Amino acid sequence: MQPVDLTTLNATCAELCREWIPARTEQVYQRDRYTIALALRTLKQRGWLTISWHPEAARICIGDSPPRVPDTFTFSDQLRHQLRGLALIAIEAIAPWERVLDLQFASRPGEPALWHLYAEIMGKYSNLILTDADNQIVTAAHQVSPAQSSIRPVQTGQPYEPPPPLTETTPSLSEPQPHWQERVSLVPGAIKRQLLKSYRGLSPALVDSLVKVAGIDPNQSTESLTASDWQRLFQRWQEWLQALETAQFQPGWTEKTYTVLGWGITEPAKDVQILLHRYYTDALNQQTFKQLRHQLVQKVSSLREKLRQKARTFAERLQQSDEAEAYRQKADLLMAHLQYCQPGQTSITLSDFETGEPIKISLNPENNAVQNAQALYKRHQKLKRARTAVKPLLKETKEEIEYLDRVEAALSQMEQYSRPEDLKALEEIREELIQQRYLTPPKERSRSSSDESQPDCYRTPSGWELLIGRNNRQNDQLSFRTASDYDLWFHTQEIPGSHVLLRLQPGAVPEEADLQFVANLAAYYSRARQSDQVPVVYAEPKYVSKPKGAKPGMVIYEQERVLWGRPQEASSYRMENESSRKN
């Protein structure tokens, strides 16, 4: 993840000052432990200023409105108490070449600042600190005690001190090329490393971009650079300083990340705010998605294995209970032939009542024949009771395994993050597992939007809408709330997978190509994705029902018809759908 460097911070600060100063602070909301949002209103617009001190994604930019979830953080409560209703009158760097912004708040524009909110955007050392007009710290997102840092403690009641200044040389637009070149090449080494060591205000990402756009390998030695190489490099260096001087930036997407200098852009961005918000939202979502999916896959896999072992144990006990009648038969034989039993016998062989076949009966030599028969009757009764008790337990365990198989099938469809809907669908699976008591609620609950995620949507060859559930919540929604009498419901036959709904107009009859298209996707969104052909059933929604007390996603159906889906063909549908969504 590319951190916000000095250049990016200057670009976003310049835009904020042009478009959002002055602004009234209407609300303060803390999204998570690292991010707050200030609701700002100007004469022309209203928006949410996001400020984050995340160790990997510290930033300041205009973002989305927060979710409708109560804010219970103490830090935001303190900010809300002091800043709500005040005017944001300025956003300034505390000093040139420093990555610390001073957000100043006053009763109204033109009056002295009553409060200062210092946003320190410095990677893992980022912080957000509120001070009064005398620069006394009132609250901080992350307090640093003297034991943690003897150089710069950050604690309530102490005066605010800026971070220690960097020691590298400050870049200057007036510096001539020979002097600049001499400084960079004084000690031979890779050009990227020498630039970073020689001047302040540079970041690895910026230097990489600057060197590559000049047509030079970042690892190329300064000794091997030609005069034309130095000339091109210095020209880009001047372009960078000119952009900082004039606050004229060109935000956009590059092949792997973003830039605000217009170098290597593959897709321009409307402004820096949209660029930063989209990049860091996607990056953090992708990080969260990967971690959450790994946790859920591991948990579901572990639960399924435990339940399978439990089912095997119950099956073994049922198999043992099948011998109950044999024990009763032996007891009857023994009671009918008491005269043949002798004291101290360890076994006796008697003829079966019906077949006449010899049956060997083990005996306890310390008991007489009647006592041995009673022991056999007791064993018979115990096994009969065990069968009565174990049968429902085995059925319940198998139902749990089937449910977790469906959850596992849904997780297998979400291999990679591509849009916010992916993370939302994954979080719904976690919430469902918590509700079903397979997971314990996390200490810090998700503060994402309370809106439900949406199913995947396709268009058949004839243009009919096709909806595909991505988790059990969506499956139940499609099958029992979205579906109308005119639609068709699809699902892989006896294979865990998504519920698929083909939306039709009254009286419409889908073409064979439409049905095959839907069957292919239903097969693709199932556990049998790797198969060549998969049986897919379809029925009218009125013939689909949920058994009483059934777990999420569980349905029964009747009057179904069968098609053979070809999941390998559906993979191309999905790529086309992803491409059209991005466009």
Q: What is the pLDDT of residues 194-220, one digit of tens each?
A: 999 999 999 999 999 999 999 999 999
Q: What is the pLDDT of residues 452-477, one digit of tens each?
A: 788 999 999 999 999 999 999 999 99
Strands (E), 169-287: 252-253, 258-259, 267-268
DSSP 399: H
- Residue 463's domain spans which residues? 456-582
Residue 240 lies in a domain: yes
pLDDT band at residue 446 under the 50/70/90 scheme: low
- State the maximum Cα–Cα separation within the chain, in Å, rounded to a whole number: 122
Question: How many Cα atoms sit within 13 Å of 14 on the Cβ side?
Answer: 18
Task: Give the model's pLDDT for residue 577.
Answer: 64
Q: Is residue 48 within 8 Å of 66, Cβ to Cβ?
A: yes
pLDDT band at residue 426 under the 50/70/90 scheme: very high
Same domain, 467 and 557: yes
- Other Cβ atoms less than 10 A from the Cβ of 531: the count is 16
- Other Cβ atoms less than 10 A from the Cβ of 367: the count is 13
Task: Give the model's pLDDT for residue 582.
Answer: 54
Residue 189 lies in a domain: yes
**Across residues 121-126, what is the average pLDDT?**
93
Which of 351, 378, 399 terminates a domain? The answer is 399
Q: Is residue 334 within 8 Å of 350, Cβ to Cβ?
A: yes
CA distance 228 to 230: 5
Instruction: Using alpha carbons only, give the angle 114, 119, 123 rounded to the nearest 5 degrees.
Output: 170
Same domain, 507 and 389: no
Same domain, 110 and 188: no
Residue 313 lies in a domain: no
Listed ranges 141-155, 366-380, 497-511; the one with the highest mean pLDDT: 497-511
Same domain, 259 and 383: no
Q: The domain spanning residue 20 has which CATH number?
A: 2.30.310.10
Structure tokens at 62: 């205009």
pLDDT band at residue 379 under the 50/70/90 scheme: confident
Task: Give the model's pLDDT for residue 442.
Answer: 77
Q: What is the pLDDT of residues 251-288, one digit of tens each?
A: 999 988 999 999 989 999 999 999 999 999 999 999 99
Same domain, 133 and 187: no
Which of 92, 114, 140 terminates a domain? The answer is 140
DSSP 231: H
Same domain, 16 and 124: yes
DSSP reduced 3-state for 190:
strand
Q: In degrees rounded to 5, what are phi and psi of residue 470?
A: -110, -5
Q: Is residue 25 within 8 Å of 89, Cβ to Cβ?
A: no
Name the residue among 151, 112, 111, 113 with its Cα closest to residue 130. 113
CA distance 493 to 487: 19
Compute the mean pLDDT over every residue in the chain, rounded to the nearest whole number.
91
Residue 162 lies in a domain: no
Same domain, 190 and 135: no
Strands (E), 5-56: 23-32, 35-41, 46-52
Residue 49 lies in a domain: yes
Task: Give the count of domains, the chain.
Answer: 4
CA distance 102 to 79: 15
Same domain, 390 and 460: no
67 pLDDT exceeds 90? no
Task: Give the model's pLDDT for residue 473.
Answer: 93
Residue 155 lies in a domain: no
390 pLDDT exceeds 70? yes
Pick the range with the lowest mean pLDDT from 310-319, 407-416, 523-532.
310-319
Q: What is the pLDDT of residues 14-50, one digit of tens each?
A: 999 999 999 999 999 999 999 999 999 999 999 999 9
Q: The domain spanning residue 256 has which CATH number?
A: 1.10.8.50
Task: Give me the sign of the Cα torsion angle 52, 56, 59, 63.
Answer: negative
Structure tokens at 165: 């200044």
Q: What is the pLDDT of residues 73-88, one digit of tens each?
A: 999 999 999 999 999 9
Residues facing 539 on adjacent strands:
489
pLDDT band at residue 242 under the 50/70/90 scheme: very high
450 pLDDT exceeds 80? no
Q: Is residue 5 within 8 Å of 205, Cβ to Cβ?
A: yes
Task: Give the model's pLDDT for residue 575.
Answer: 63
Q: Is residue 254 within 8 Å of 266, Cβ to Cβ?
A: yes
Which of 350, 373, 399 terminates a domain? The answer is 399
Task: Give the model's pLDDT for residue 166.
Answer: 79
CA distance 574 to 439: 32
CA dihedral 361, 365, 366, 371 (to 10 degrees): 20
Given strand 252-253, what is the order of strands in its sheet? 258-259, 252-253, 267-268
Task: Give the model's pLDDT for residue 281.
Answer: 93
**Across residues 425-431, what is the average pLDDT?**
93
Residues 6+ apart with CB under 8 A from 108: 87
Radius of gyration of the chain from its Cα atoms, rounded to whole angstroms: 35
**Across residues 498-515, what is the average pLDDT?**
94
CA distance 348 to 336: 13
Q: Is residue 351 within 8 Å of 334, Cβ to Cβ?
A: no
Q: Is residue 543 within 8 Å of 557, Cβ to Cβ?
A: yes
CA distance 300 to 291: 14
Q: In degrees rounded to 5, what are phi and psi of residue 281?
A: -65, -45
357 pLDDT exceeds 70? yes
- DSSP code string of 508-575: ----HHHHHHHHHHHHHTBTTTTSS-EEEEEE-GGGEE--TTPPTT--EE-S-EEEEE-HHHHHHHHH
Same domain, 16 and 116: yes
Residue 218 lies in a domain: yes
Same domain, 323 and 253: no
CA dihedral 449, 455, 456, 461 (to 10 degrees): -140
CA distance 489 to 34: 44
308 pLDDT exceeds 70? yes
Task: Give the model's pLDDT for residue 328.
Answer: 81
Same domain, 391 and 510: no
Residue 509 lies in a domain: yes
449 pLDDT exceeds 60? no
Structure tokens at 364: 């306890």
Name the residue among 536, 532, 467 with its Cα closest to residue 495. 536
Same domain, 181 and 136: no
Task: Give the model's pLDDT for residue 248.
Answer: 93
CA distance 391 to 25: 64
